[in-house]
Chains A and B, each alone.
Chain A
Amino acid sequence: MSNERIVGTAVPRKEGRDKVTGKARYVDDMTLPGMLYGATVRSQVPRGRIRTISYRPEIAWNEFVIVTGKDIPGKNCVALIEDDQPCLTSEFVNHPEEPILLLAHPDRHLLRKAVEAVTIEYDALPAIYTIEESERCAEIIWRTDNVFKTYLIEKGDVDEVWAKADYIVEGEYRTGAQEQLYIENNGMIAAYDAEQGITVWGSLQCPYYVHKALMALCSLPAEKVRVVQMETGGAFGGKEDYPSMIAGHAALLAMKSGKPVKIVYDRMEDMAVTTKRHPSRTRQRTAVSKDGKILGGEIDFTIDGGAYATLSSVVLSRGAIHAGGPYFWPSVRIRAKAVATNAPPHGAFRGFGAPQSLFAMERHMDRIAKVVGLSPLEIRRRNFLKPGQTTTTEQIIREPIDLDQLLNHALEASEYHVKKKQFAAHNQFGTTKKGIGIAAFLHGAGFTGSGERYLNSVVGVEGCADGSVRILVSSTEFGQGTNTVLSQIAAEALGLRYEDVSLAQPDTTQVPNSGPTVASRTVMVVGKLVQSAARGLQQTLAARSLLGDNYSADEFRAACRSYVAAHGELRSWAQYEAPPGIFWDDKKYRGEAYAAYAWAVYVAEVSVDLTTYSVAVNDFVALQEVGRVLHPVLAVGQIAGGVAQAIGFALFEKVVWQKGRMQNGQMTNYIMPTSSDLPPIRVLFEEMGNVHGAYGAKGIGELPMDGPAPAIVNAVEDALGMRFDFIPLLPEDIFEAISARSCENESALPSAVK
C-alpha cells in the first residue's frame, strides 16, 4: 500500500468547528449597514405578452426602489451558454415564474404586500407543458422547433442487428422532476460603488459563472465585478446557474439605490422558481441473442428543459453518454434531445442527466433478463464492459475494472441469494411482500469530452508570511468536503501537517478560475492541479536553497517565512493539461468522454405493504470503485447522502405541476426522506486501480445518485411481480396498478372458464 501520511486518513473537516458551533456564516447571517431587502415580481401566466404594468395605490411606492428591464445597463440576459434567458423580461413571458420587476425596501415585511400590489396584464398565448406537446410543435415556444439541443451517438451498424436478433426488447421509462432541496435557500447580497463596481456575497457553487453573468448584465469590466462565496448550505447542482439570476437582481437593485441589497428566497419561492432535475423519457429497443448478449440497440433519450436553454445541452450530453450503462454494445444508436416547455428552466442536479438515462437502462436490463429467461445478475454478467472493450462513444476502457467482482462482493454483502430464497417463502403469505433488486452503473468524472480543455482551469498555492500554506481555488465547499480534501492533497504533496494548510475563501479578487464546482471534478481534476502547484512551491523554495531534500514541516514553514520576508509574495500556479493520448470528436460525439469513470453495484431490499401500498427500503448496500478514497469518512458521507436523495427520487419526491407551476412547493407537501424513512445504508469501497487523478482518486459526488432508483424499482418488481417503469413510484401508483391487475384477472376469468 502507499506510504502517504494524510491522504486516506480521516482528518477533521476544515470548517467543521464553525459548523458545529453555529459560527459558520451563511449569506442570510450577514447584514450590511443601510441594507435594503429585495423582492421579485414574477409572471403569473405560463406564456403571454405583457400589456400593462400598474401599481395599486395602497402602497407608498415612493419608498420603494423599483427596477425593470429598462434599468439594465448591459445585456438583459443571464449569461451562461445560449444567453437566451432574460434577467427581467420586458415583453414576452415564457413560464409562470419569470422575473419581471424588482422591488427593494428597508422593511422586508412590507415587500410581500408590495409584490402583490403590482398588477400585470397580459395578452395570453397558448402554452405547452409536456415533452410530447413540445415534440408535436403544438406551439413553437423556443426558436424554430422547440429543440434546445440534439446529440447523435453512433457505434457500428445497428440497422444490421435486428435481423440477427433472437429477441428484440422494447421499453419506455420516465423520471420526474426533482427539487434539490438544499436546506439553505438561495440568497445573495449585492453592494455597488462607482469606484469599485459590484460586489456580491452569496450562496453559490460557481463564483466565475456569477462573475461572467454580472459583467454582461451590468456592463462592467472583470475587475469591477467581485463575487464572494459565503458558507453554502447545500447545493447539489441547484446553486450552479440560478445564483447568477439572483445576483443579477440584487446587483441591479444595488446599482439603482446605491445601497446594499439582500435577496434571500423563502422556501416556497425557492422551490417554485429555481431549477430542478429534468423530467425525462427514455425509449429503449434492444437486439439480444438467445444467450443474453446485447447485439445492439437504439436509445432515444429526451429531457424537458423548461422555458430556456440554460444547462440543458450539458445535462443532455451526460445523460446520453451514460445511457448505455456499464455494458458492451457492439453497435448502438443513441439519439438525445432536450425540448422546451413553458415551465421554469430545469437545471443541474447531482448526476446531471445520468440518473435519468441509467434508471431506464437498469430497468431495461431486468426486462431483457425476463424476456431471455436469465436472472438479473446473469444478464448483467454477460454484458459487463471489460478492460480493452469500448463504450458507446468508442472510448477504450483502460482502467483495470472488474465489474463481475464488484457484483459478487455486493451480492455477498447484501446476502442476496439467501434473501432471494427467504423472500420467495415469505411472499406466499401475508400482506407484506419483500423483494431485492440490483443496479450496476458507472459515472464519468469531470467535464465531458473536450470540456476540461475549454475550462483550462488554474489553481494557485501560496506560501504565507507565517509559513502556512493557502490554496487558491474557485472550487467551493457546500458540504462535500472540498476544503478538507484539497488541504489533505496539498499537505501530502508538501510534506506538511494538515493544520498547516487552509483554503482562501472563494472570492474572484483573490482566487483564480479553477472551473465550476460541478461534475465530480473537484478532487480528481482540481485536486491534481493543487498537487502540482504545491510541488511548484516546494521547487521554488529548493531553488533558492531554502529547503533541502528531506525537510520537516517546521523547516518548510521556516523556509516559507524567509522567502516571503526576503522576496515578498510566494505563489505557485498550475494549469490544466489534458492527459496524453486522449481524443474527443465534438461533432461525432465519439472518443474519450471522460478521463475516468467510477463504477458501482448497488443492492436494494424493499418491502411493499399491501394495506397502505407504501414501499419501505429495508436494507441498502452501495458498493463502488472510485479509485483511491482520499478521506474514508467524508467519502462514506457523500455516498450515503447521495443514496438518501436517490431514495427520495425513487419513492417520495413528486413535483406536482399545474400549467407549468409547482403546486407543492413546501416541505409539508414535497416529501424528502427523514431520519425515520431510511434503511441502514452500507457503503463499501473497492480500490481497483490507479488513475491520473490526485493520488489516484476519481470523482465520487454524483455517482450515488445514479443507482438507487432502478435498484429499488427492480426490487419492487421482484416483490410484486409487477412492472413499474417510472419514478417517483408512489403508493397511489402501486394501488392503481394492483387494482387494474385485479380487474384484469376478474375479467379474464370467464374466458378462462370457457
Chain B
Amino acid sequence: MTTSTHRGFRSEISLTVNGQRETVMAFPMERLLDVLRQQLGLTGAKEGCGEGECGSCSVLMNGALVNSCLVPVLQAKGASIVTIEGIAAGPQLSALQEAFLECNGAQCGICTPGMILAASHLLSKKSIPTLAEIQEGLSGNLCRCTGYVQIFNAVAKAALCGEATKTS
C-alpha cells in the first residue's frame, strides 16, 4: 500500500545512511523505504507487503530494527540508518553474509537483505543466541523459500564465527 505523499510540502531532511550524511528533499510522510530506494538508489531494501508484515524492507535505524515501509522519513531525520548495502566492508563479506552464502540461507534472495539485517540486530543483542532466540528474533521476517531451517543454520554459524574472531 502506498501512503499518499502529496500532503504538505517537500522539505530538506538530513540523515546518515551507511555512515554517509545524506540530505534529501522529501514530503514528511514519504516512506523511508521510498527515499532509500528512489532518491538514494539503495534498492537492497525491498517492498514485500507495504504494511510491516513481511520484513523485507527491514533496515536499522539508530541500532533498532525497523520496517522502512512504515517509517515516515521525517521520523528518520537526523537518524543513522544501516541498509544491506552497508553491511559488507568493501569487497569483504560480513560473517553473516558468508554464512548465508554457505548455508543456502538465501534462495530467491528477496527476503535476504531484511533477514540479514534482522539477524545482525539479533547478534548485536545476543552474541550466541539459542535456536529459540533465533526463531523469535527472525519471526518478523517472512521467507517463502527456505522453511527457515538453513537461515537458522546461517545465523548460528555466523554467531560462532563472530565469537571466534572476538576471542582470537
Residues of A within 8 A of B (CB): 12-13, 15-26, 28-29, 108-109, 112, 180-185, 231-236, 266-268, 478-481, 633-634, 636-637, 640-645, 666-668, 672-676, 678, 680-681
Instruction: Tell which of B84, B85, B88, B147 touches A640, judged by Cβ atoms closer than 8 Å.
Output: B147
| Complex: A183 Cα to B88 Cα, angstroms | 24
A22 touches B44 (CB 8 A): yes
Task: State the Cβ distance, B9 to closest chain A Cβ, in Å.
Answer: 15
Do B107 and A641 touch (CB < 8 A)? yes
Residues of B within 8 A of A676 (CB): 135-136, 139
| Nearest CB in chain A to that of B98: its residue | A20
Bound CA span A388–B165, Å: 58
Which of A22, A667, A681 is within 8 Å of B142, CB to CB?
A: A667
Q: A12-B101, A12-B102, A21-B84 are in contact. Are A643 and B147 (CB under 8 A)?
A: yes
Taken together as a complex, chains A and B put the C-alpha atoms of A681 and B113 apart, in Å, by: 24
**A644 close to B148 (CB less than 8 A):** yes
Q: How far is the CA of A182 from the CA of B139 in the complex (A)?
A: 17
Task: Indicate whether A667 sits within 8 Å of B2 (C-beta atoms), given known contacts A21-B88, A641-B107.
Answer: no
- What interface size band does chain B fall in? 35 or more
Q: Are A672 and B100 in contact (CB under 8 A)?
A: no
With A12-B102, A236-B144, A667-B54 already in contact, the answer to whether A22 and B108 are too (CB < 8 A) is no
- Partner among B5, B49, B50, B106 whose Cβ is within 8 Å of the Cβ of A20: B106
- Interface pair B54/A183, CB less than 8 Å apart: yes
A667 and B49 contacting across the interface, CB-CB below 8 Å = yes
Mask for B102-116, Cβ within 8 A of A = 1, else 0? Answer: 111111111111001
User: Given B45, B53, B108, which contacts A479 in the complex, CB threshold below 8 Å?
Assistant: B108
Closest CB-CB distance, A110 to chain B, in whole Å?
8
A636 to B51, CA, bound (A): 31
Closest to A632 in B: B104
In the bound complex, residues from chain A placing their C-beta under 8 Å from that of B6 are 109
Tell which of B87, B109, B141 touches A24, judged by Cβ atoms closer than 8 Å.
Answer: B109
Does any Cβ of A come within 8 Å of B61's Cβ?
A: no
A667 to B50, CA, bound (A): 9
Q: Which residues of B contact A645 (CB under 8 A)?
A: 144, 147
- Chain A, residue nearest B140 (CB): A674
Besides the known contacts A16-B106, A645-B147, 8 further A-B residue pairs in the complex with CB atoms under 8 A apart: A23-B44, A26-B110, A183-B54, A633-B103, A640-B147, A641-B144, A675-B136, A675-B148
The chain A residue sitting closest to B131, CB to CB, is A680
Of all chain B residues, the one with the shortest Cβ separation from A480 is B107
Q: Specify the chain A residue showing the minimal Cβ separation from B56.
A: A183
Closest 3 pairs (CB-CB, A-B): A22-B44, A233-B110, A479-B108
Q: How many whole Å from B26's CB to the nearest CB in chain A? A: 13
A–B complex contacts, Cβ < 8 Å, 27 sampled: A15-B109, A20-B97, A21-B97, A22-B84, A23-B44, A29-B43, A108-B2, A109-B5, A181-B144, A183-B56, A183-B142, A235-B108, A266-B47, A267-B1, A478-B108, A479-B107, A479-B145, A636-B149, A640-B149, A674-B142, A675-B134, A675-B135, A675-B136, A675-B139, A676-B135, A676-B139, A681-B149
What residues of chain A lie closer than 8 Å to B161, measured between beta carbons?
Answer: none
Contact call A183/B101, Cβ cutoff below 8 A: no
In the complex, which residues 104-158 of chain B have their Cβ closer than 8 Å to any Cβ of chain A?
104-113, 116, 134-136, 138-152
A317 to chain B, nearest CB (A): 26
* A22 in contact with B53 given A112-B2, A233-B46 (CB within 8 Å): no
Check if B93 is an interface residue, CB within 8 A of chain A: yes
Residues of chain B lying within 8 A (CB to CB) of residue A633: 103-104, 150
Q: Which residues of A contact B56 (CB under 8 A)?
A: 183
**In terms of DSSP, what is the predominant structure of the interface of chain A?**
loop
Contact assessment for A267 and B150 in the assembled complex, using a CB-CB cutoff below 8 Å: no
Q: When the two chains form their complex, are residues B54 and A266 in contact, meaning their CB atoms are under 8 A apart?
A: no
| Docked CA distance A13–B104 (Å) | 7
Residue of A180, A268, A634 near B1 (CB, 8 A) is A268
Contact partners of B107 in chain A: CB under 8 A: 234, 479-481, 637, 641
Q: How far is the CA of A181 from the CA of B53 in the complex (A)?
A: 13
Render B33-54 as a binary contact track against A, CB cut-off 8 A, 1 for contact: 0000100001111111111011
A234 vs B143: C-alpha distance in the bound complex, in angstroms?
10
Q: Chain B residue with minimal CB distance to A481?
A: B107
> If A183-B142, A236-B144 touch, does A22 touch B110 (CB 8 Å cutoff)?
no
- The interface residues of chain B lying within 8 Å CB-to-CB of A681 are 147, 149
| Interface membership of B68, Cβ < 8 A | no
A109 touches B145 (CB 8 A): no
Indicate which residue in B83, B110, B134 contacts A184 across the interface (CB closer than 8 Å). B110
Contact A28 B47 (CB under 8 A): yes
Cα distance A182–B111 in the bound complex, in angstroms: 10
On chain A, the residues within 8 Å of B142 by CB distance are 183, 667, 672, 674
A641 in contact with B146 (CB, 8 Å): yes
Q: How far is the CA of A424 from the CA of B108 in the complex (A)?
A: 42
**Contact in complex: A20, B93 (CB < 8 Å):** yes
Cα–Cα distance between A13 and B50 once the two chains are bound (Å): 29
Which of B48, B84, B140, B150 has the largest number of chain A CB atoms within 10 A? B48
Q: Report the minimum CB–CB distance from B40 to chain A (whole Å).
A: 13
Q: Does B168 contact A (CB under 8 A)?
A: no
Q: Which residue of the partner chain B has the closest CB to A268?
A: B1
Which of A21, A24, A637, A672 contacts B144, CB < 8 Å? Answer: A672
- Chain B hits for A478, CB < 8 A: 108
User: Of A13, A108, A644, A680, which is within 8 A of B101 by CB?
Assistant: A13
Q: Are B109's CB and A19's CB within 8 A?
A: yes
Chain B proximity of A204: nearest CB distance (Å): 13
- Chain B residues near A18: list those with CB within 8 A: 109
A109: which of B4, B45, B105 is its contact (CB, 8 Å)? B4
Of A16, A17, A19, A640, most buried by chain B (CB within 10 Å of CB) is A19
Q: Is the CB of A640 within 8 A of B93?
A: no
* B108 engages A184 (CB within 8 Å): yes
Q: Which residue of B lies closest to A643 (CB)?
A: B147
- Whether B53 lies near A666 (C-beta < 8 A) is yes
Q: List, in ascending order, chain B residues with CB within 8 A of A268's CB.
A: 1
Q: How far apart are the CA atoms of A109 and B29 in the complex, in Å?
A: 13
Q: How far is the CA of A643 from the CA of B150 in the complex (A)?
A: 13
Q: Can you name the residue of chain A whose Cβ is closest to the Cβ of B84?
A: A22
Q: Which residues of A contact B151 (CB under 8 A)?
A: 675
Would you call B2 and A21 a contact (CB within 8 A)?
no
- Given A183-B56, A266-B50, verify A675-B141 contact (CB < 8 Å): yes
Please indicate the chain A residues that have their CB under 8 angstroms from the CB of B87 in the complex. 21-22
Say how far A354's CB is from chain B's closest CB, in angstroms: 19
Cα of A643 to Cα of B148 in the assembled complex, Å: 11
A665 to B148 alpha-carbon distance, docked (Å) = 23
Cβ contacts under 8 Å, A233 to chain B: 46, 108-111
Which of A25, A481, A644 is the most central at the interface, judged by chain B CB atoms within 10 Å of its CB?
A: A644
**Contact (A675, B44) CB under 8 Å given A182-B144, A637-B107:** no
* CB nearest to B118 among chain A residues: A675
Shortest Cβ distance from A645 into B: residue: B144
Q: How far is the CA of A18 from the CA of B101 in the complex (A)?
A: 10
Task: Return chain A residues, CB-CB under 8 Å to B148.
Answer: 640, 644, 675, 678
Q: Are A640 and B150 in contact (CB under 8 A)?
A: yes
Question: In the complex, are the beta carbons of B50 and A183 less than 8 A apart?
Answer: no
* B42-82 to A contact mask, C-beta < 8 Å, 1/0: 11111111110110100000000000000000000000000
Check B93 against A22 for contact (C-beta < 8 Å): no
A182 to B142, CA, bound (A): 10
Query: Closest residue of chain B to A113, judged by CB?
Result: B4
Known A-B contacts A22-B43, A637-B107, A640-B149; A183 and B113 likewise in contact (beta carbons under 8 Å): no
